[in-house]
Amino acid sequence: GIPTDEGGRRDIKTLEHVLKHERNPANRIPVTFIACTDDDDCIGYLNSWDKNIAHVDVVDDYRNEKKEILNVQGKGFPFSYGDYVVKVLMAVDFRTKYSA
């Protein structure tokens, strides 16, 4: 759902501020959001954060994640369900091009 303040009011900006400015160092504090919604508002800001905030990853279901990763890495890139679990737990972004 949508992040809220102490009064239960919608408050996306405060969480965004924390993600951008209060994780220090951000590369040592990765954050993963597991998108379990079809709410377009949620998906919109989560996808924006995924693209624009360092070390923030938004994870979809395994099939869609694998499709996105193979589009970047190439069809021969090994991405198992175990890799997906590691991605969720460790905020590893396989969509970044890795060289072997």
Domain of 69? 61-100
6 shares a domain with 38: yes
- Classify residue 84 by its DSSP letter: H
52 shares a domain with 86: no
55 shares a domain with 20: yes
- Classify residue 29 by its DSSP letter: S
pTM here? Answer: 0.74
Q: Give the pLDDT band (50/70/90) at residue 98.
A: very low
Q: Give the pLDDT band (50/70/90) at residue 100.
A: very low
Nearest-CA neighbor of 37 among 2, 88, 75, 89? 2
* Domain total in the chain: 2
- Classify residue 32 by its DSSP letter: E
43 shares a domain with 24: yes
pLDDT at 7: 96
Preceding peptide of 30 cis, ω within 30°: no
Mean residue pLDDT of the chain comes to 87
51 shares a domain with 21: yes
Query: CA 16, 21, 23, 29: dihedral to nearest 10 degrees?
Result: 60
Q: Which residue has the tokens 């220090």?
A: 24
51 shares a domain with 4: yes
87 shares a domain with 77: yes
91 shares a domain with 51: no
